[in-house]
Every structure is written in C-alpha cells, then in structure tokens.
A = this chain, B = another copy of it.
Amino acid sequence: MCPKVVDVRYLSNFELRQICYFLAVVEAGNNFSKAAEQLDIEQPPLSQRIRSLEKALSVELFNRRTRPLRLTPAGQAFLEEASLALNHLERAIDNAQLVSRGEIGRLIVGINSGIANSLLPDILRTFRQRFPKVELVLRELTGEQQIQEMRNYQVDVGFEHLPNHYEQATDLCFLPFLQDSLLIALPENHHLAAQSQIPLEALAQEPFVIPSLKNAPSLYTETINLCKNAGFLPQIAQEATWMITVLSLIAGGIGVALLSSNVRTLHRAGVVYRNIQGANLNRQIAALWRQGDENISPVLCEFLQVIAEVASENSKYNL
C-alpha cells in the first residue's frame, strides 16, 4: 500500500476554527480581545479555542507571562506553515467555485485530423478569448479512439462526421453544427482537371484512393454510396489512413478521391480540387460528448455555446 499523503485521522483532531482564530490573534498583534472583536465573538471563547489548539498540539503558542503577548518560537513555526495551509485552502475553495461556474477549468478536445478543419480555429480562438483561464487540451485521435477516450473520461468533447455508426449510442450526445460537402481531388495534370465542375459519372473508370473505413467511416461509406447512386462501383486503387497520404497518392497519379470540402484549406503540390456537378450532398459535422449521468460541465456547456455561435456566423463555409 502506498504511504498516505496526509494522515486525515490525525488531522481531524484539529479544527479549522482553532487555526483561523490563532491567525486572527496574530494579525491583531497578539491581542485576544481585539481579535475576538474582529471575529465577532466574545473574548472568552477565543481564549478557549486557542487553549484547545495548544492542548491538541501539546505546544504553547503564546507566551502569556507578558503583555502584549508574544508568540513562542513554536508558535512562530506553526504560524508560518499554518498560514500557507490556509492560503491553499482558500485557493481550494475559490477554484472549486470557479470551476463549478465554468470560469476556470480544463476541457479536453478530441480532434481527428482534418475534420472540422474549417471552424476549429475560429472556435478555439473565440473560446480562448471568452474564457482565458480555461485550459484547452487538444488530442489528435481517430474517431474510434476519440469515442473510447470519451467513455474513459479522457476526452470531454470531440468532432465527428455524420452519418456515423455511433450515432445511436445512448451515452453520447451529438450536436450537428456545420454542413459539409464533398469535392473531387485530382492530380493536377489529370484530363478532367480542365473542368471546374465534374459530374460523378465521369469518374466511373477512374481508380480511387480512399480513406480507410476504420478511420473515416463517414467518408468511406459516402464515397461508395455516391458512386453507386451515379451508377458505378468505384474501383479502389489504394486505401490510406491519413489525409496527407491520400493527397500524396493523388499527386503521384495513383488515383482520384472524394474528400471533405474542408481539405481546400490544405494546398498540396500536384493536387487540384474540383466541385461535383449536380449532386451536392449534405454531410454534417457534429460535436459530440458524453451524455452521462453527471450534469454537463459548465465549461463544456460554454464550449458548445461557442461552437453554435461560430457555426451560425460562418455560414460562408456552408456551401
């Protein structure tokens, strides 16, 4: 068994009141009567409390054979640490109250590479501005990990694309806040790159680079579904996990891909982006968090509020 940090049973023999009263007496210049007045109690109880403290300590804190009273060396030693202790206690109380009001605290945000690429910076900036004392911890995780860590209380809020097979989970809450569309990514020297809009059907014979089902389930299934609707099954040349890899493969001429429109912010030499003609599917980006037993944390609440605000301001991203 690990050694106890603090022997609480021993400490329970003492009383905060005793210690506060002791500090008050010292602050009043070792004057019991004056301290009693400031504490709004009578002098005798104050004397009694100090006595009881001294008895509990088995230590004389004041030398009473002189007026004004003086601290004994032991009293001086006690004063120094006790005053630190009360400072920490005061901070403990303050912090607890601030956290419970969402004014300070920590929020662990799960992000998966590329998702919410568009609004995340705005959201973070706005939140930081409004709650400068809240520490935002970013964790870059795949969707799977994100949800696992969320259930482990290692992540407080994350972002996912919808549809998503976790959507039905009763312990998670989803807030869709952003419309997203897909676009076509091509090698820059591809013969279709000349057009600014490309119908999906034109890709029927093209090899596809496709993000893995595991890491981007929404993108994977959407790609398959869209192609099916356009009358063909995509020919998969290569699967890849990271967006960076996907873009490299495209630049290398391995194939084309359907990607979230937010990748437009990612400029990769050798890759061009083109809109899909006709079909402009509505994918959604949602924030998600534990819909647990506990009350939703104030910090999280404010964060969701900021997401909603930023989303409504930035309708420009919602093409």
How would residues 1 to 26 of chain A score, 1 for a CB under 8 Å from any chain B CB and 0 otherwise? 00011111111101111011101100
A90 on the B face (CB < 8 A): yes
Contact A87 B9, beta carbon cutoff 8 Å = no
Task: Provide the bound-state CA to CA distance between A229 and B41, in Å.
Answer: 70
How would residues 114 to 153 of chain A score, 1 for a CB under 8 Å from any chain B CB and 0 otherwise? 0000000000000000000000000000000000000001
Contact A15 B14, beta carbon cutoff 8 Å = no
Contact of A63 among B9, B21, B293 (CB under 8 A): B293
Chain B nearest CB, measured from A64 CB (Å): 9
Contact B57 A80, beta carbon cutoff 8 Å = no
Listed residue (A15, A40, A61, A87) with the most chain B CB atoms within 10 angstroms of its CB: A87
Cβ–Cβ < 8 Å partners of A81 in chain B? 88-89, 91-92, 95
Within 8 A of B (CB), among A38-70: 38-40, 57-61, 63, 65-66, 70
Cβ–Cβ < 8 Å partners of A39 in chain B? 8-9, 12
Name A104's closest neighbour in chain B (CB-CB).
B77
Contact B93 A57, beta carbon cutoff 8 Å = yes
Cβ–Cβ < 8 Å partners of A15 in chain B? 15-17
Contact B66 A92, beta carbon cutoff 8 Å = no
Chain A contact-residue range equals 35 or more
If A81-B88, A81-B89, A92-B85 touch, whether A65 touches B8 (CB-CB below 8 Å) is no
Interface of A is mostly: helix
Task: Provide the bound-state CA to CA distance between A72 and B72, in Å.
Answer: 42
How would residues 268 to 311 of chain A score, 1 for a CB under 8 Å from any chain B CB and 0 otherwise? 00000000000000000000000011110101000000000000
Cβ–Cβ < 8 Å partners of A57 in chain B? 93, 96-97
Task: Provide the bound-state CA to CA distance between A24 and B9, in Å.
Answer: 9
Contact B82 A88, beta carbon cutoff 8 Å = yes
Show 27 residue pairs from A and B whose CB-CB distance is below 8 angstroms, ordered by the A residue.
Answer: A6-B87, A6-B90, A8-B23, A11-B20, A12-B17, A14-B16, A15-B16, A16-B16, A19-B89, A57-B96, A58-B97, A59-B99, A63-B295, A65-B294, A66-B292, A66-B293, A70-B153, A72-B100, A74-B100, A77-B92, A77-B104, A77-B105, A78-B96, A81-B89, A82-B88, A84-B92, A85-B87
- A residues apposed to B, CB below 8 Å: 4-12, 14-17, 19-21, 23-24, 27, 38-40, 57-61, 63, 65-66, 70, 72-93, 95-100, 104-106, 153, 292-295, 297, 299
7 other A-B residue contacts (CB within 8 Å) besides A8-B20, A84-B88: A16-B19, A63-B295, A73-B299, A78-B95, A78-B96, A84-B92, A85-B88
